[in-house]
Homo-oligomer: A and B are copies of this chain.
Amino acid sequence: MREKNKLSERQRAILKFMEHYVENFGFPPTIREIGEATNIKSTSVVNYNLNKLVQSGHLARLNRKSRGIRLTSQIPVGVREPSNSKRVYLLGEIVAGQPIAIPEDIAHHPDPESALDVPPALLGGLDAAEVFALRVKGDSMIDAMIQDGDIVLFRKQLTAQNGDMVAVWLDERSETTLKYFFREGERVRLQPAHPTMQPIMVAAAHCHVQGRVLSVIRTLG
């Protein structure tokens, strides 16, 4: 027998969706929207479960009002997931004519002003402590499909796997560039992201990987 005060899977899903929806849209969902989100095919079933949730005190409803559903515990503090965005620090700029100048102490940079909140997805599975951000200055990275003002998330590392987009310092040109990295014997092929641009071949010894690009953020707003 099912315990009376125990919510069903669907009811939990509905509550969760409700919280979620209200938070993002500022108003409650319709029965049909709940149904779609929780894989309930019939509006009557949603209605049924909604009434259950009213009985159990989780929701309040207003008859015949569209979207007249309300969480009784409007903001259940405990249930709330800790803000899942990660904090990354913007440590400087990336300019073609200079090596990336990153202080050793990524972690020792608690300047709140330069903090960026980024979704974990942009970190490629890495820990926020391993990641830092640089703002691109100038249009020299344009063949990497990166433009002035973009923010690039890096992981500091001195080696790379084939196919990684990396920041490399080129001795011969005295510049930092962002390219896709391919090791080819003693040489390295640096492939621009822009398909019409030609790759650069350099001796591995004169090509210093400084970091791997995890993601790029561009704000136009």
A contacts, CB < 8 Å to B: 17, 20-30, 33, 36-37, 62, 66-68, 70-71, 74-75, 77-87, 107-108, 110-112, 116-129, 139, 142, 145-147, 164-165, 193-195, 213-221
Which B residues touch A82, using CB under 8 A? 83
Which B residues touch A83, using CB under 8 A? 23, 80-85
* Nearest CB of chain B from residue A178's CB, rounded to whole Å: 10
Copies of this chain in its oligomeric complex: 2
Which B residues touch A36, using CB under 8 A? 110-111
**Given A23-B87, A27-B70, A29-B110, residue A126 in contact with residue B221 (CB < 8 A):** yes
A77–B81 touching, CB < 8 Å: yes
Choose from B30, B66, B111, B139 the contact partner of A195 (Cβ within 8 Å). B139
A123–B221 touching, CB < 8 Å: yes
- Please give me the residue from chain B that is nearest to A82 by CB atom: B83
Q: Enumerate the 4 nearest inter-chain pairs by beta-carbon distance, A residue then B residue, closest first.
A: A124-B221, A85-B85, A216-B218, A117-B119
